[in-house]
Amino acid sequence: MSVLSLQGITKSYGGNAILKGVSLEAEAGEFIALVGPSGCGKSTLLRIVAGLDHGDAGEIVIGGKSVARMAAADRNVAMVFQSYALYPHLTAGQNIAVPLAMRRLSAAQRLPVVGNLLPGQKQLRSEIQRQVKEMALALKIDHLLDRKPGQMSGGQRQRVALARAMVRRPAVFLMDEPLSNLDANLRVHARGEIVDLHRRAGVPTLYVTHDQSEALSMADRVAVMIGGNLLQLAAPKEIYDNPSHIEVARFLGQPKINVLETRTDAAGIVRFGDLLLLADRGRAPDAPVQLTIRPEFVRFHPASTGRLTGRVERMEFLGSEVIVHARLDAIGDVVTAKSAPSEAAALSLGQPVDVEIMPDRAMLFDQQGARLQAEPVAIAASLEKIHG
Amino acid sequence: MTPNAPSVARIARLTVLSLGALIFLAPYIFMVSTAGKAQSEIFSSSLSLIPQQWSYIENFSKALSRVSMGTLLFNGVIVCALIFVIQIVVAIPCAYAMAKLKFRAARTMMVLVMLGLLVPIHATALPIYVAFDRLSVLNSYAALVAPFSISVFAIFLFLQFFRAMPDELIHAARLDGMSEAGIVARVIVPNAWPAITAFAIFSVVAHWNDLFWPLIVVTNQDYATPPLGLLYFRAAEAGDDYGALMAATLIITLPLVTAFLLAQKRFVEGITMTGLKG
Amino acid sequence: MASVATFETAIAEPAAREARIAWLLALPAITLLLLFILLPTLAVIVLGFTDFELGYGSFRFVGFENYAELFGDRTFRRSLWNTAVYTLIVTPVSIVLALAIAMLIEAETKGRAFFRTVYFLPVASLLVAMATVWQFLFHPTIGPINTFLSLFGIAGPNWLGASGTVLYGLSIIGIWQSVGFNMVLFLAGLTAIPRELYAAAEVDGAKSWFDRFRLVTWPMLGPTTLFVTTISIINSVKVFETVKTLTEGGPNKASEVLLFTIYQEGFVYLRVGYASAMTVVFLAILVVLMFLQYRVLDRKVHYA
């Protein structure tokens, strides 16, 4: 059962299309990371789901109820902001209590002096206090409840913001780069914590980040957004190994995936060095294609006798691995390989190398970036297939 | 949150703002209107804004003949310019020394500056007046300018501004072989223009409008500043010839209002910056 | 030993040089500060204990006689009372109006610059001149305000000419003149509020405009409001130009205000000693106001 469903959300600002029809379904308890380069529309999408922005077209359904025309306050969503957006004049405890007080107490009951005299507010307030305390204990911030945001560290503020969002058990949890203001060490630690909290609360979560390692390591499914389109939504391993679009392949992975421009021959076969790939079951003869291979599936061997040769141009030593860049002799493109230091020891700058590409890891995309099926073929087999 | 709500709110907002704007502009509208009306028409007490019979030339020539407007405006410009230039020349080196150089008096200076911020001219006027009287310097530009030669507010403002400037900038200048005076003139001042313009606007508005001090030290029309001149003009007119009076106020208000309208963004920024720092 | 000595001077020398240059740069300011602020302030306090009058050669110390006289001085008491009334009208009204206008302008997308300019215009206008215009507007028979009121059958008062209304008339001018200044400060304060706080308030359930105002705008404007309040009070206490231009404290001392009384005593009647005592009272009021601002600032509105 989908708890959150977005259908064809569009949004443009002054003729600039920010979202070009985004659809997405989240299952109960699912953690979905929205990832993409800055300006891809992921934060706008999140704000539209929250009700802070309104889409030009499209439908939003939360828990079976259409909410596209509702105000943020009525949607039963909670959000953690990049800057945490804690109210600086309230203590941590008061901050966490705000969403409860806003919903449970009437406008009159919330008035400073008069409110305290109204019937029923006392029980409500103590109930709110109890829940705040409980939430704070769960997040281990109960000792901070009397402090104001200005007296807390970044990590503590982040927890208070999480507590404020989680305290009223929302139908959907929205997070807008909640870790980007933490320093690197804390960030990795906080990733694990958020995932734990999510598991325990079981509330479906949309998590916006520009950091692909955050997305891949935390999410059940990753949605890659580029240029206002949701290009692919899949489990982390799937989206990394099996991207459906070249932009997804390019966006994920560090160092970046190698992209080589080439063509299929009359038989629909790509010949690249030793590599022989049948593109799209032979249905794309004599067409330009893009051949991609992740750096971890490229090897450079000292020598220059093979079919695909190049010269080492740059080497980056990263401790556990070495990134080697070599320029191909034939077409002048640079190919990057991720090598073990022991392998890279045999290489030096300017050295001629043979380039080995793992055939079953190479992928093909057409000119528009759509994925083409690629089957490694032996020459004989392919000839047989074609002339057979 | 229906899609219609914002536009209704917006119409209400614009209506309120426009009505308020009309009320705020009313004095200017009536000033311009009345400056063109003949005495008889003014006394007919009608609300019509456009004069039946245009008497601008008559009223303006009256305004210009009774009081020498040229002298007033000239005095205003001279006094404001002198005050501003001296304030800047005195305050910037001092603020630089307090912000970026180490010397023992800096703390004491800071206390003096904070105390100085509390003391307006109205509090020091009596002794300064007595002293100027003894020295026989009343009725002079010197008397108009001298008490304002020191602006603790300028020191305070520039101090804040210079503290925010990176030390590297000054260290680099020293390594390049500049003297401290050279650093002030060639590194600090060119980088302090935002603060200088802000202070200029604050200072000119304050002293162009000041009536208190000129009223005390000037009794001779030759040194009268615009507010004081207008006071003389009113006295001479016995306050009843509103046509001429409005013409005179128009002439006297125009320079600063024009300056404001031409550079209104800077004005507002300047007042905001000096306002918030003060 | 010799080497140690040279080593020390090598370090001491640049520091001493820096201090010397600093003194040199600060000297004009220090001199003028002593001459025109510190000395006169001390002098005013001392003069407050004398019977000094300009034109008489000698004077003597009279202790607290001046202050005792002040307490019994009906003009001075009237003047203090009027200043307080004027301040109590002008400050709250101009602050509330300024905040309301600033929030309306802030919410507006187009026409912001226009409205800001219009409301700020009085700040940049010569007050003495505009007071003259207001005098015309307030004129009991030919003034547009009363002419306008008569359209509705209301007989307008003799605004500046009657002791019952003169303070209100002056207050209207004071409000008109100061709203723009307060407004730009509020506008700066409003722009400084992070947008995300409003977003958080919406998500947290603050549905109405008033909820968001109470949860975000008002507390976030705390420092600005405090500052605007202090400066408005101080400026109201310093009211002088309009009184001197329009009413000379009249009619029947109904618009005597503090600075005008000081001016009359000191510079018209030349009773410097007595006027100095009044000045000390005036200064004391300013000091108390500033002190209160610092206290509140530390306790209430600084959240860090």
The tens digit of pLDDT for each residue in B256-270 reads 888 888 887 777 777
- pLDDT for the residue numbered C94: 95
CA A240 – CA A251 distance, rounded (Å)? 10
CA C87 – CA C96 distance, rounded (Å)? 14
Total domains in chain B come to 2
Q: In terms of domains, do B42 and B106 share one?
A: no
pTM of the model: 0.84
- pLDDT for the residue numbered C81: 94
**CATH architecture of the domain formed by A256-386:** Beta Barrel (2.40)
Measuring CA to CA, how many Å separate C89 from each of A170, C86, C96? 48, 5, 11
Written as six digits, the tokens of A179 are 């870790």
Q: Is the Cβ pair A102, C204 closer than 8 Å? A: yes
- pLDDT for the residue numbered C301: 60
CA of B194 to nearest chain C CA: how many angstroms apart?
16
The CATH topology of domain A2-246 is Rossmann fold (3.40.50)
Residues of B in contact with A69 (CB under 8 A): 1-2
Between A313 and C16, the higher pLDDT residue: A313
CA B73 – CA B63 distance, rounded (Å)? 14
Cα angle value C20/C25/C31 (rounded, 5°): 105
- Looking at residue C236, the DSSP 8-state letter turns out to be H
Q: What is the pLDDT of residues A322-339, one digit of tens each?
A: 999 999 988 888 999 999
- Indicate whether B1 belongs to any domain: no
Percentage, residues of chain B above pLDDT 90: 22
| Closest CA in chain B for residue C287 | B118
- pLDDT for the residue numbered A233: 94
- pLDDT for the residue numbered A388: 41
Q: Is the Cβ pair C202, A52 closer than 8 Å? A: yes
CA C40 – CA B147 distance, rounded (Å)? 10
CA C125 – CA B258 distance, rounded (Å)? 10
Instruction: Tell me what the pLDDT averaged over chain B comes to.
Output: 84
Q: Are the CB atoms for A85 and C197 separated by under 8 Å?
A: yes
| Closest CA in chain A for residue C304 | A150
Q: In terms of domains, do B159 and B86 share one?
A: yes
Written as six digits, the tokens of C2 are 């010799």
CA A174 – CA A165 distance, rounded (Å)? 9
CA A161 – CA A190 distance, rounded (Å)? 13
Written as six digits, the tokens of C290 are 């500033």
CA B28 – CA B164 distance, rounded (Å)? 41
Q: In terms of domains, do B163 and B186 share one?
A: yes
Calculate mean pLDDT across residues B208-233. 89
Calculate mean pLDDT across residues B223-247. 81
Q: Are the CB atoms for A211 and A202 separated by under 8 Å?
A: no
DSSP-assigned beta bridge partners for residue A33: A207, A222
- Indicate whether B278 belongs to any domain: no
Q: Are the CB atoms for A20 and A228 separated by under 8 Å?
A: yes
A52 touches chain B (CB under 8 A): no
Q: What is the pLDDT of residues C143-184, one digit of tens each?
A: 888 888 888 888 888 888 888 899 999 999 999 999 998 998
Written as six digits, the tokens of C78 are 């009237």
Q: In terms of domains, do B52 and B87 share one?
A: no
- pLDDT for the residue numbered A380: 45
Residues of C in contact with B107 (CB under 8 A): none
- pLDDT for the residue numbered A267: 84
What is the distance, to the nearest Å, from the Cα of residue C200 to the centroid of all Cα atoms in its chain? 37
- pLDDT for the residue numbered B112: 87
- pLDDT for the residue numbered B1: 36
Q: Are the CB atoms for B192 and B273 separated by under 8 Å?
A: no
Q: Is the Cβ pair B109, C135 closer than 8 Å? A: no
Amino acid at C108: E
- Domain spanning C65-299: which CATH class is it, in words? mainly alpha
Q: What is the pLDDT of residues A164-204, one digit of tens each?
A: 998 888 889 999 998 988 888 888 888 988 998 888 888 89
A149 touches chain C (CB under 8 A): yes
Q: What is the pLDDT of residues A335-376, one digit of tens each?
A: 999 999 988 888 889 999 999 888 889 999 998 999 988 888
Q: In terms of domains, do B121 and B99 share one?
A: yes
Percentage, residues of chain B above pLDDT 70: 94
Measuring CA to CA, how many Å separate B50 from each of B58, B167, C129? 16, 61, 21
**How far from each other are the two terminal CA atoms of chain A, in whole angstroms?**
49
CA of B246 to nearest chain C CA: how many angstroms apart?
7
**Beta strand A205-209 pairing with A172-176:** parallel
Written as six digits, the tokens of A370 are 């759509």
Q: In terms of domains, do B31 and B75 share one?
A: no
Range scoring the smallest mean pLDDT among B28-37, B89-98, B262-271, C65-74:
B262-271
Q: In terms of domains, do B127 and B241 share one?
A: yes
CA A11 – CA A225 distance, rounded (Å)? 14
* Residue boundaries of the structural domains of chain C: 1-47, 65-299
Amino acid at C162: A
Residues of C in contact with B259 (CB under 8 A): 124
Q: In terms of domains, do B72 and B169 share one?
A: yes
- pLDDT for the residue numbered A379: 55
CA of C207 to nearest chain A CA: how many angstroms apart?
6
- pLDDT for the residue numbered C11: 56
DSSP-assigned beta bridge partners for residue A344: none
Q: In terms of domains, do B140 and B46 share one?
A: no
Band (B187; pLDDT cuts 50, 70, 90): confident
Answer yes or no: is pLDDT of A22 > 80.
yes
Question: Which helix (DSSP H) or strand (DSSP E) does residue C285 occupy?
Answer: helix C272-296
State the best of C193, C204, C216 to mutate against chain A, taking most chain A CBs within 10 Å. C204
Nearest alpha-carbon partner for A214 in A260, A251, A179, A249:
A179
Q: In terms of domains, do B237 and B123 share one?
A: yes
Range scoring the smallest mean pLDDT among A44-53, A297-306, C180-189:
A297-306
CA of B100 to nearest chain A CA: how many angstroms apart?
29
Q: What is the pLDDT of residues A276-296, one digit of tens each?
A: 888 888 788 888 999 999 999
Q: Are the CB atoms for A376 and A323 separated by under 8 Å?
A: no
Percentage, residues of chain A above pLDDT 70: 97
Q: What is the ipTM of this complex?
A: 0.85
* Residue boundaries of the structural domains of chain A: 2-246, 256-386
Supply φ then ψ for residue A58, to 5 degrees: 115, 165
- Indicate whether B2 belongs to any domain: no
What is the extent of the structural domain holding B43?
8-61
Nearest alpha-carbon partner for A321 in A302, A298, A304:
A298
C130 touches chain B (CB under 8 A): yes
Q: Are the CB atoms for C151 and B255 separated by under 8 Å?
A: no
SS3 per residue for chain A: CEEEEEEEEEEEECCEEEEEEEEEEEECCCEEEEECCCCCCHHHHHHHHHCCCCCCEEEEEECCEECCCCCHHHCCEEEECCCCCCCCCCCHHHHHHHHHHHHHCCCCCCCCCHHHHCCCHHHHHHHHHHHHHHHHHHCCCHHHCCCCHHHCCHHHHHHHHHHHHHCCCCCEEEEECCCCCCCHHHHHHHHHHHHHHHHHHCCCEEEEECCHHHHHHHCCEEEEEECCEEEEEECHHHHHHCCCEHHHHHHCCCCCCEEEEEEECCCCEEEECCEEEEEHHHCCCCCEEEEEECHHHEEEEECCCCCCEEEEEEEEECCCCEEEEEEECCCCCEEEEEECHHHHCCCCCCCEEEEEECHHHCEEEECCCEEECEEECCHHHHHHHHHC
- pLDDT for the residue numbered C1: 43
Answer yes or no: is pLDDT of B45 > 70.
no
Cβ atoms within 10 A of the Cβ of A274, count? 13
Q: In terms of domains, do B54 and B76 share one?
A: no
Q: In terms of domains, do B109 and B247 share one?
A: yes
Answer yes or no: is pLDDT of C139 > 70.
yes
| Closest CA in chain A for residue C197 | A85
- Indicate whether B163 belongs to any domain: yes
CA A243 – CA A237 distance, rounded (Å)? 10
Residues of A in contact with C205 (CB under 8 A): 73, 98-99, 102-103
> Which chains are within 8 Å of C by 3+ CB pairs?
A, B
Interface B-C, measured as beta-carbon pairs within 8 A, has a size of 278
